Structure 1
């Protein structure tokens, strides 16, 4: 028995690429992001999906809601394990400011060892998302599940499935409104699609 996980990065907000949104709860999708979310719904409408889980952040909830509407799924389940990395005091800062911080450069060089100030390590992020996938795999065997999350969380899971260090995160892209697909079973897990972009 296998479970297919469709890992969806949330659609774009208006300031994507300009500041570290992190766990800033009130960052909604912008107009372009809402269009991306609708395209995600159209793309996933024929996938026979049973359940949708999403991070508690507004941008993921709005993305998941658009997918649920297209699939006629009545409710989205919120999963804290899919939440954005806890970037601690970095959350909400512009990348211009962050790029002057040596700790930020260290974080991006060796994420497997460095903790965000007042926040998480990438290994902690990886641990929580792996635990969720293992739990859902037992509950949703032979089904398809959508997980709407954030780039770094998806990258942490992909690195684990591929047997890569968490430090391998810059070697592949997880774009806004992209879909990456993992199939998991008692035998392990494999990537069957990476960064399918519907935007």
Structure 2
């Protein structure tokens, strides 16, 4: 099954203003976020990509603009189900103010119970995103083969919920996960289990590129990326 690269959008003007942007239209990348997006094609240069899928929000589209210009042949797709959580009445408010809301305790400690007033539940956010990934995995494998790699550009809480699903963590533990703006999280899906290969990586990604299976004396495929055959490497692997 394919390898999925989850890219959080670059830093936005809402991030630097301390606002919960949610689905507010027109929230753009700030200067640092623009620079982060400009560096993304170089970081991904060694990786063949079958497709790029993005949230419909502007900050995700902006993050992929430099990659699209660098790889004009790369198919781009919009996917509503990996859009930002609908925070309802919390949308557009300052995070400092929201910290005093009684619901914030549940958001931090018991997110599976949270329904944002006028918005969606955190369980619903995770469910739609996981459903989207499962369907895109099948599509990418069908169209490009089981060893294909593709990219999704989404949002912090959405990516964290997908990582929790891949690790078999209850949603109530997903706040222990952190992903920086424009970081890359890599998950290799197999018929047996997903493998988390990178979490919030902001550096070089060349080692994720497919490699020839150089055989070691014991028959292990030393060059195969982790999880290629669905088995975990006992002792951690090379």
TM-score under structure 2 normalisation?
0.79
Deviation at 1:136, TM superposition (A): 1.2
Correspondence 1:140 to 2:140: yes
Matched, 1:173 2:178: yes
In the TM superposition, residue 83 of structure 1 has moved relative to its aligned partner by 0.2
CA contact (8 A) 2:14 2:20 kept: no
Counterpart contact for 1:177–1:198, Cα < 8 Å:
no
Alignment partner, residue 51 of structure 2: 51
Q: Secondary structure at the match of 1:192?
A: strand
Q: Structure 1 residue 16 and structure 2 residue 10: aligned?
A: no
> Size of the alignment, in residue pairs?
198
1:151 aligns with 2:143: no
CA contact (8 A) 2:52 2:74 kept: no
Identify the residue that residue 89 of structure 2 maps to in structure 1.
89
Task: Measure, in 1, the Cα distance between the counterparts of 2:203 and 2:9.
Answer: 12
1:117-128 aligned within 5 A: 117-128=117-128
CA contact (8 A) 1:5 1:183 kept: yes
Instruction: Provide Cα deviations, 1:126-182, integer angstroms capped at 9, x if missing partner.
Output: 111111111111111121110000010000010011011112122221000100001
Match of residue 225 from structure 2: none
Q: Secondary structure at the match of 1:177?
A: coil
Off by >3 Å, runs of 4+ in structure 1: none
1:75 Cα shift?
4.7
What is the alpha-carbon distance in structure 2 between the residues aligned to residue 111 and residue 64 of structure 1? 30
Q: Distance in 2 between matches of 1:152 and 1:15?
A: 15
Q: Secondary structure at the match of 2:103?
A: helix
User: Alignment RMSD, CA only?
Assistant: 1.6
Quick check: 1:105 aligned with 2:105?
yes
Tell me by how many angstroms 1:74 deviates. Answer: 5.1
Higher-Rg member (1/2): 2
Q: Secondary structure at the match of 1:41?
A: helix
- Segments of 5+ residues of structure 1 without an aligned counterpart are none
- Give the structure-1-normalised TM-score: 0.94
Which one has a larger percent strand, Structure 1 or Structure 2? 1
Q: Which has the higher contact order (CA 8 A, sep 6+)?
A: 1
Structure 2 regions of 5+ residues with no counterpart? 205-238
Q: CA deviation at 1:198?
A: 4.0
